[in-house]
Chains A and B, each alone.
Chain A
Amino acid sequence: MNVTVEKKPRLTTSAMIASIAAEGQRVKAAPFGHALVELAKERPDLVGMSADLSKYTDLHIFAQAHPERFYQMGMAEQLLLAAAGGMAKTGLMPFATSYAVFATRRAYDFIHQVICEEDLNVKICAALPGLTTGYGPSHQATEDIAMMRGIPGLTIVDPCDALDIEQAVPAIAAHQGPVYMRLLRGNVPLVLDEYDYQFELGKAKRLRDGKDVLIIASGIMTMRALETSDALAKDQVEVAVLHVPTIKPLDETTILQEASKSGRLVIVAENHSVIGGLGEAVASLLLRSSVTPAFRQIALPDAFLDAGALPTLHDRYGISTSVMASKIKSWL
C-alpha cells in the first residue's frame, strides 16, 4: 500500500486522561478520595459504593483506606443507586460514584423514585461533568444538571476546584438528604485558595468585584471566569465573579443582590447545556424578581457534541478563556 496521505498536524485527544488542568497549573491529587478518608474518621455511617469506576472517581483512595466500608457494585448503575437507597434506609450514608452520564441518564428513575422520593441520605458523586472528556456524547454529561434540577428535594453541587471539593465533602455529609455532586478527579486544579473563600452549602460567594461585567458561574467555569476577568482587565474591562457552587437550592438573595447593581452586563457561565442549567435558573429568578439587566449565557450548545481533544472542543463550544473573553468584548 503505497498511498501517500497529506499529514495533518496531530492533536491527540484527551479522551481518557481527562484532567482539565492546564499545563503548569497548580493541582492537587484526588481531593475527593482524600476528603472522604478524612470524613470517615468522624462518620462511621459513611460507606463508599461504585459501579466499576472507583479508580476513575478517586473513590479507590477511600476503598484502600477502608476496604470493609467499600462496596463494588459492578458496572450496574441502576443497581448502584437503588442499592445505595436501600443502604440509606438502614441508616448508612452511602457516597455512590460513577461518571455523570451514567449516574444520571442510566439511573434517573432510580434516583428519582428510590432515593429522592423518600428523601434518602445518599450522596451521588459523579465524575466527568459537562464537557470534560473528548470521548463523545456517551461520556459528555452536558445535561446532568437539567435532569437533576427536575427532581424535587435533590441538592445539586458543582464545585470549581480541589479546595471546593475538599470543603464540599464534609458539608454535603452534614446535610441530611440526597445530594448530587459533580466531581473533578485525578489531578484537580487548585484555584480558590488564592481567594478569601470557604465552601458553604447553599451559598454563592463573590470572588472578585468589578464595575462593567458580572459573571455568575459554577464548576470549572468559575475558574474560567477568573481567567477571563484577568484577560479583560488588560483591556480596562472590570469583571466581577460570583461563584455559585450550589445550583439547587439557589442562593437567590446573593444573586439578586449582585445582579441588581446597575450598569453591569450579567453573564451566566456554566459547563453545561444552555438548556436547564444555572443560566436558565438565574434568568427565571431575575425575571420573577423584576431585575432585568442585560443578560447573556455562556454554555454548551443544545447539541450532541463532537469527539476530539478537549482544548479544541472548549474553543469550538465557547467555554475556553480566550473565546469567552472575545465574546464578552463583543457584547460590551
Chain B
Amino acid sequence: MHTASNLNPLAEHAYHIRRYALQMGEIQGQGYIGQALGYADVLATAYCHAMQFKAADPDWQQRDRFLLSHGHYAIAHYAALIEAGIIPAEELETYGCDDSRLPMSGMAAYTPGMEISGGSLGQGLAIGVGIALGLRHQNNPAFVYNSMSDGELDEGATWEAAMSAAHYSLSNLICLVDINNQQADGHSSKILSFEPLADKWQAFGWHVQRVNGNDLAAVKQAFDTARHLEAAQPRVILCDTLMGKGVPFLEQRDKNHFIRVDAAEWQQAIAILDAAFNSGAQA
C-alpha cells in the first residue's frame, strides 16, 4: 500500500478501500466487487471526512450511526471500517470464512461498527427513522447516515420511512443512495423505473442533492451541505456511481449484479489500482 501527501487525502482513503475490497474478493473468489469499487468514494467521504466516531470505541454513545441497509455491500463496508481503524486490516483474511467476524452479508452481531443486519433489503431507512427519533428524544446530537442501494427504492417500506422522516422533520437523518443502475435481474431503469428521483424525494419533503458519486470533491461538498443545512428536514444524497470504478477492465465489463472476476484478475486489478494511484500521486 502506498501513501502520498500531495493528493487529496480522501482519494488516498478511497484507494485503500478499493484495495481492501479487492483483497477480500480474492479470498472468496466472489463478492460484490463491482458495487464496492463503485461506492468506495462515498464510503471514504463518510468515514474519513464526515462522520464522528471513535475507532477504539465503536459503541460510543455520541457516534454518528452508519446503517448498511444494503447488507450485501458488506465487502465495501468492511473495507471502510478497516480504513477507519475500527477493524484491523489483517482480519480481511477471514472474509466470508466460517466463524469470521466478516460474513458475506452485514450483520450487527458479527462486526464492530456494523449497526444493523441489513440483508433483507428496504429496511434501513425505517430503522434510521427510529434511531433518529430516539437520538433526538434523548438530546443526542449524533447523525444517522442510512446507506442504501437503488434497488431498495423499489420497496414500499422505503417510501413509508421517507414520508415519516419528513413528517418528523428529522434533520439528523441523512440518506445516501447508491444509484449504480443495477439490480439482481438487470438495469434498475428496466426493472422498476424510479426517475425523476430527485423530484420524488423533494415531493416527499426531503432536502435533495444529486451528485456524481465518483467525484470526490462533489461528494464531499454534498456531505458538508447535508450536515450543516439549517432547514428542519431530512436530507438525501443521490449518488450516481459507476460499478467497477477504478479498474477499467471491470468498469467496461458487462454490467451484472455479480460482475465476473476470474481468479487471476484480482491481482491484476490491484496492480492497476496501485499503478493509477502512484502515477496520480506523482502528477
How far does the alpha carbon of A309 sit from the alpha carbon of B98 in the complex, in Å?
Answer: 6
Which of B91, B96, B98 gathers the greatest number of chain A CB atoms within 10 Å? B98
Within 8 A of B (CB), among A32-58: 50-56
- Check B192–A73 contact: CB distance below 8 A: yes
List, in ascending order, chain B residues with CB within 8 A of A307's CB: 103-105, 107, 110
A15 within 8 A of B: yes
List, in ascending order, chain B residues with CB within 8 A of A7's CB: 93
B64 within 8 A of A: no
Residue of B nearest to A50 (CB): B185
- Check A12–B105 contact: CB distance below 8 A: no
Distance in angstroms from A78 CB to nearest chain B CB is 6
Q: What is the 8 Å Cβ interface bit string for chain A, positions 88-128, against chain B (1 contact, 0 not)?
A: 00000000000001100110000000000000000000000
List, in ascending order, chain A residues with CB within 8 A of B152's CB: 75
Distance in angstroms from B16 CB to nearest chain A CB is 11
List, in ascending order, chain A residues with CB within 8 A of B27's CB: 10, 12
Given A3-B90, A13-B96, A53-B185; A138-B71 close (CB under 8 Å): yes
Which one of B28, B90, B91, B156 lies within 8 Å of A13 (CB-CB)? B28
- Check A75–B119 contact: CB distance below 8 A: no
Distance in angstroms from B22 CB to nearest chain A CB is 16
- Check B154–A8 contact: CB distance below 8 A: no
B246 within 8 A of A: no
List, in ascending order, chain A residues with CB within 8 A of B241's CB: none
Given A3-B90, A5-B93, A55-B184; A75-B121 close (CB under 8 Å): yes
- Check A8–B94 contact: CB distance below 8 A: yes
A332 within 8 A of B: no
- Check B156–A79 contact: CB distance below 8 A: yes
Distance in angstroms from B182 CB to nearest chain A CB is 11
Main secondary structure of the interface of A (DSSP, over half): loop
A308 within 8 A of B: yes
List, in ascending order, chain A residues with CB within 8 A of B97's CB: 8, 10-13, 308
Q: What is the 8 Å Cβ interface bit string for chain B, positions 174-190, against chain A (1 contact, 0 not)?
A: 00000000011100001
B89 within 8 A of A: yes
Which one of B30, B88, B91, B185 lies within 8 Å of A72 (CB-CB)? B185
A27 within 8 A of B: no
- Check A52–B184 contact: CB distance below 8 A: yes
Interface size class of B (residues with CB under 8 A): 35 or more
Which one of A17, A50, A75 lies within 8 Å of B122 (CB-CB)? A75
List, in ascending order, chain B residues with CB within 8 A of A101's CB: 120
Distance in angstroms from A322 CB to nearest chain B CB is 17
List, in ascending order, chain B residues with CB within 8 A of A135's CB: 103-105, 119
- Check B119–A76 contact: CB distance below 8 A: no
List, in ascending order, chain B residues with CB within 8 A of A308's CB: 97-99, 103
A65 within 8 A of B: no
B155 within 8 A of A: yes
Residue of A nearest to B194 (CB): A74
- Check B155–A75 contact: CB distance below 8 A: yes
How far does the alpha carbon of A134 sit from the alpha carbon of B103 in the complex, in Å?
Answer: 9
How far does the alpha carbon of A309 sit from the alpha carbon of B104 in the complex, in Å?
Answer: 10
How far does the alpha carbon of A60 sit from the alpha carbon of B191 in the complex, in Å?
Answer: 13
Distance in angstroms from A303 CB to nearest chain B CB is 12
List, in ascending order, chain A residues with CB within 8 A of B205's CB: none
List, in ascending order, chain B residues with CB within 8 A of A73's CB: 192
Which one of A16, A53, A60, A75 lies within 8 Å of B104 (CB-CB)? A16
List, in ascending order, chain B residues with CB within 8 A of A134's CB: 104
B117 within 8 A of A: yes
A1 within 8 A of B: yes
A301 within 8 A of B: no
Distance in angstroms from A289 CB to nearest chain B CB is 39
Which one of A55, A76, A105 lies within 8 Å of B155 (CB-CB)? A76
Given A53-B184, A76-B192; A15-B96 close (CB under 8 Å): yes
B124 within 8 A of A: no
Which one of B93, B118, B154 lies within 8 Å of A74 (CB-CB)? B154
Within 8 A of A (CB), among B79-112: 88-91, 93-94, 96-99, 103-105, 107, 110
B258 within 8 A of A: yes
List, in ascending order, chain B residues with CB within 8 A of A53's CB: 184-185
Which one of A1, A17, A75, A79 lies within 8 Å of B151 (CB-CB)? A75
Q: What is the 8 Å Cβ interface bit string for chain A, positions 1-25, against chain B (1 contact, 0 not)?
A: 1010101101111011100000000
Distance in angstroms from A15 CB to nearest chain B CB is 4
Given A10-B97, A75-B183; A52-B154 close (CB under 8 Å): yes
List, in ascending order, chain A residues with CB within 8 A of B58's CB: none
B130 within 8 A of A: no
List, in ascending order, chain B residues with CB within 8 A of A60's CB: 185
List, in ascending order, chain B residues with CB within 8 A of A10's CB: 27, 97
Residue of B nearest to A139 (CB): B119
A249 within 8 A of B: no
Given A3-B90, A13-B96, A16-B258; A74-B117 close (CB under 8 Å): no
Distance in angstroms from B107 CB to nearest chain A CB is 6
Residue of B nearest to A105 (CB): B120
- Check B192–A138 contact: CB distance below 8 A: no
- Shortest beta-carbon contacts, A-B, top 7: A74-B192, A138-B119, A307-B103, A74-B154, A75-B154, A308-B98, A15-B104
Binding site for A on B (CB under 8 A): 1, 27-30, 71, 88-91, 93-94, 96-99, 103-105, 107, 110, 117-122, 151-152, 154-156, 183-185, 190-192, 257-258
15 example contacts (A-B, Cβ-Cβ < 8 A) are as follows: A12-B96, A52-B154, A52-B184, A53-B184, A74-B183, A75-B183, A76-B192, A106-B120, A136-B117, A136-B119, A137-B117, A138-B107, A307-B105, A307-B110, A308-B99
